Structure 1
């Protein structure tokens, strides 16, 4: 055997060992095709089931590493914003992983504590987007998106200047220096991170889900403009805030008002027109099949709803 053949054999053997170890560690023969598990599921035509978590650090991340959820909503809208703690949360997910599906971590989408009130507000706070993405987040949601310019600024904040140019969206605002840690969190090289850390589906190879919540009357009035911004990939309606915007308070066990349900239908229709993923709330074991059959692809749900939904679609990918 020549030295070249011996070297090639050694490399192949090492690769096989790594793949074998990853499969055994995840307890699954499934091989992930993407970093972002949620995007992978959507491209497969499978609904995504996610849970929300109000902040937390390393131990919380490690405890959630084997969660039933495909994605985790790291919600700090009403909680203290701490990028260092979020970095530790991501590290906990990694150390407790991989997921049963073989992904390094579940998809993690951060709901930020700044609203898309106007473009100036988003530009003044774009550093929040930059910091959570640099810590390894797979996406961000911005609340109260009331202005088209604010949605454009959000997309810019999630992109690098070297990203493919897109008409109607300015040059990316992310700076060099943060890609090293983010790449480490994703388990890839910095060069590969720079290539794929871009909003999907604007960039078909992108691994970031960027979106917002139209959760008040002002936001509802402009959804045809905000959802049409290139790079917006997901929208989650906010029924509780929407109800307050209509001057109403929902009591325990009381259904949402007709105005709020009409708002949901309007948001869903515009999302479908723009090929934006609609994120549903309140999905449970009783309504999940109806919602899945209606084409809803993203569900804030519970474990039983996820089990019923996955069984209904004969899902192949492990949770």
Structure 2
């Protein structure tokens, strides 16, 4: 896919998200270009480079986003922390958007949006990195293009956020919410993500997002689980991670070949 085609594909992610198009993605845990390219080749809609829970630094994020550009897939970054500097680095490197962890207050949501926007925000300007085509875009065209394309997704994963869901989702410029069921499960001391208290929290978040007309993204372990969340209104689905999917495939193959190994004395 050419650079111009990719710019259209990556820039379209935010609009597809806002239009409630069903979107399929996965987390990238390995700091290489290759897994990003694989998911792009397979036709996934997006990947999330996980700088919070995987060994990514600025250089490896940059390489992964370059791979997303090459493979024609929207590359997002889950920043390690919601600092303006980390958000700026991801966006300058060409991220189609950011997942901001632990957004537990409207102030945190507003700060995340501000760090992502030029107009009405506080994003530091430079058109010299990849996002500005290395100076190929003039100042104001770059500002307009980035403000139109960058998706800001707040991760709701803390019990205290449940008390202020409506104010969080009323923050202007927030594009979607991601429900962090695993963090909610741990924070609530629940037995599993299927526990009643977690399911109740998930429903609270989905209902608040519906009131605010915000898209909902969520992890789905199976097609059936994705379909059940889709019926509730979710449209963005994260299917595990590159490492998790590799482990599942390797485990299945290991089991499939157990008889061959035994018969050959392996």
TM-score, normalization by structure 1: 0.66
Q: Which runs of 5+ in 2 are unaligned?
A: 242-266
Query: Distance between the aligned counterparts of 2:98 and 2:90, measured in 1?
Result: 8
The equivalences for 1:158-169 within 5 A come to 158-160=116-118, 163=119, 165=120
Query: Distance between the aligned counterparts of 1:274 and 1:179, measured in 2?
Result: 36
Q: Which runs of 5+ in 1 are unaligned?
A: 1-20, 98-104, 115-121, 166-171, 199-205, 304-319
Partner of 2:169: 227
Q: 1:213 to 1:93 in 2, by over 3 A?
A: closer
Q: 1:240 to 1:287 in 2, by over 3 A?
A: closer
Q: What is the total number of aligned residue pairs between the two structures?
A: 238
1:285 aligns with 2:223: yes
Partner of 2:77: 110
Q: 1:94 to 1:214 in 2, by over 3 A?
A: closer
CA contact 2:9–2:74 (8 Å) conserved in 1 = no
CA contact 2:28–2:36 (8 Å) conserved in 1 = no
The CA deviation at 1:258 is 0.5
Larger Rg: 1
The CA deviation at 1:274 is 1.1
Partner of 2:99: 141
1:92 aligns with 2:67: yes
Query: Distance between the aligned counterparts of 2:127 and 2:32, measured in 1?
Result: 20
Q: What is the root-mean-square deviation in Å for CA atoms of aligned residues?
A: 2.8
Partner of 1:239: 181
The equivalences for 1:146-295 within 5 A come to 146-160=104-118, 163=119, 165=120, 172-184=121-133, 189-191=137-139, 192-198=141-147, 206-250=148-192, 256-282=194-220, 284-295=222-233
Query: Distance between the aligned counterparts of 2:183 and 2:79, measured in 1?
Result: 15
Greater relative contact order, per chain length (Cα 8 Å cut-off, separation 6+): 2
Structure 1 residue ranges, 4+ long, deviating more than 4 angstroms after superposition: 31-34
TM-score, normalization by structure 2: 0.78
SS of residue in 2 equivalent to 1:131: helix
Q: Deviations over 1:131-188 (max 9, x none)?
A: 000000011111111222121111111111xx2x4xxxxxx22222255421328x97
CA contact 1:46–1:297 (8 Å) conserved in 2 = yes
CA contact 1:283–1:299 (8 Å) conserved in 2 = no
SS of residue in 2 equivalent to 1:74: strand
